[in-house]
Amino acid sequence: MPADQLSSVFGALADPTRRAILAQLTDGDRSVAELSAPFPVSQPAISRHLKVLEGAGLISRSRRATARLSHLEAEPLREATAWLARYQAYWDESYDRLDALLAALKRTQADEQSPIE
Amino acid sequence: MPADQLSSVFGALADPTRRAILAQLTDGDRSVAELSAPFPVSQPAISRHLKVLEGAGLISRSRRATARLSHLEAEPLREATAWLARYQAYWDESYDRLDALLAALKRTQADEQSPIE
């Protein structure tokens, strides 16, 4: 995946309506009318979101009679996940720091509760 | 993490310079001057990128003498990864379809190569 497609994928995911559309498509292909139903936005607004998702390679579109169906293309999400996975060591580190902080707090509390000799 | 922070995180990642800045910060905290060095862009442009990253919670900033240092905060990337992980079944499915296609191709080739009886 070229670097720019990765930017397009992250850009496409940077919107709650577009993320919700992808979630809907996990249940199967959907028309614009079906995808618009749960949202308080117009079908043209949903169509614009679909264009962004299609541009990022996250959906493909086909025709069924007069309806255009959107189909989830999850492969680019694998690449996005692979990019993020490189940072796992660093978020684990922040957990380690939190663990150390909690352990230090516990020691302090234990010290405070121990009787003065 | 509220839904809007997830949008901010994905939005912050939707730029190759910002992703490269995060990569630089895995080696330790950096000043704006240090972060600007590898890029053909001005320090003010890098500062704007840092503001976007800070707004998404992906970096924090502190002072060392006269320099402002940026520090990687990887925790929001964990949340972004958790969101993406829900789609793993769907990208695996596209691999399964590819496997099925390759198997079908192999069978076709085997049929073509078998002698006519």
B94 interfacial to chain A (CB closer than 8 Å): yes
Q: Please, what is the average pLDDT of chain B? A: 86
> Which residues in A lie closer than 8 A to residue B84 (C-beta atoms)?
77, 80-81, 84
Q: Calculate the alpha carbon distances from A27 to A48, A61, A69, A77 in Å.
A: 21, 15, 13, 17
User: What does the pLDDT read at residue A96?
Assistant: 67
A68 forms beta bridges with A63
B106 interfacial to chain A (CB closer than 8 Å): no
Distance from CA of A28 to the nearest CA of B (A): 11
Q: Show Cβ contacts of residue A27 under 8 Å, excluding neighbours closer than 6 positions.
A: none
Place B112 in a pLDDT band, splitting at 50, 70 and 90: low
Higher pLDDT, A99 or B49: B49
Distance from CA of B43 to the nearest CA of A (A): 22
Place B117 in a pLDDT band, splitting at 50, 70 and 90: very low
Termini Cα distance of chain B: 67
Statement: residue B1 has pLDDT above 70: no
Q: In 3-state terms, what secondary structure has residue A42?
A: coil
User: What does the pLDDT read at residue A106?
Assistant: 73
User: What does the pLDDT read at residue B116?
Assistant: 47
Q: Please state, in angstroms and rounded to a whole number, the distance separating the CA atoms of residues B73 and B60.
A: 7
- Give the predicted TM-score (pTM) of the model: 0.80
Closest CA to A56 of A21, A24, A86: A21
A56 interfacial to chain B (CB closer than 8 Å): no
Q: Is the ipTM of this complex over 0.85?
A: no
Tens of pLDDT along chain A (117 residues) come to 565 899 999 999 999 999 999 999 999 999 999 999 999 989 999 999 999 999 999 999 998 788 899 999 999 999 999 999 999 888 876 666 666 766 776 776 666 665 544
Give the pLDDT mean for B28-56: 94
User: What does the pLDDT read at residue B89?
Assistant: 84
